[in-house]
Amino acid sequence: MAETAKQNSFDPKLYGPKKPEIVTVYEIFKDFSPKNNSADHLFHKTYAEKYPAFRFIGKCYGNKDRINGSFGHCWDIFFNENQPEIISRNIVSPITWDDSDSYVGLMRCCGDDPFVYAVGMFVPADTPVPEGFISYDFPESTLGICQLHGFDAELYAHEPEVAIRLENEGYTITTDEHGAYWFFERYVLSRYAEPDEDGHQALDIGFFVKNGKNEN
């Protein structure tokens, strides 16, 4: 996994919501009109994924770590410090979900709490946490995923549009026991790292959901 990361380009310069207020409270999502959605041409498909209990391991950042509104340099740290390999070599159980060849920008938003942005990976729940890393544990969950296809520079900061699309397709975006919203941008190497013949890449944006059309 780490070797693959070294061989492929990964430079999300515009990564992350440039304005924290676009993801501050759930009600804001409802103010966006999907009919005039600037991301409409990017949406490829929407679907649900079932995850068993799992863990996120990575490094944590906040708004003070932004440079020109972006967390792109945090990904440079992720790869320059070989963090994917450090995390991967601690995995002791099989990964049972699809798209395990991926890196994740995980975000947490909860009222007046500081905005959390973390770079890392989703791993099995029993994965030991390496020294110097943080972890977040999640129960068995349903993730609502929107897969975006387009040029790299236009793929980012579409969390509100994704939330609207998920809601319109019958999903209900959920919070944790503290009322926090967790959502993420997922870079699946097999479809993000190498552009297609049109120069397009794929990016997944996901929320924790229930009641989706693909959920039993």
pLDDT digits (tens, 9 = 90+) for 79-120: 999 999 999 999 999 999 988 889 999 999 887 888 899 999
Output the pLDDT for position 28.
43
pLDDT digits (tens, 9 = 90+) for 120-168: 999 999 999 999 999 999 999 999 999 998 888 788 778 888 888 888 8
Q: Model pTM?
A: 0.81
Output the pLDDT for position 33.
39
* Mean pLDDT taken over the chain: 81
Write down all domains in the chain, each with its CATH number in brackets. Answer: 2-210 (3.20.80.10)
Q: Is residue 175 scored above 70 in pLDDT?
A: yes
Average pLDDT for 192-198: 83
Full 3-state SS string of the chain: CHHHHHHCCCCCCCCCCCCHHHHCCHHHHCCCCHHHCCCHHHEEEEEEEEECCEEEEEEEECHHHCECCECHHHHHHHHHCCHHHHHHCCCCCCCCCCCCCEEEEEEEECCCCCCEEEEEEEEECCCCCCCCCEEEEECCEEEEEEEEEECHHHCCCCHHHHHHHHHHCCCEECCCCCCCEEEEEEEEHHHHCCCCCCCCEEEEEEEEEECCCCCC
pLDDT digits (tens, 9 = 90+) for 26-84: 444 444 334 444 677 887 889 999 999 999 999 999 989 988 888 889 999 999 999 99
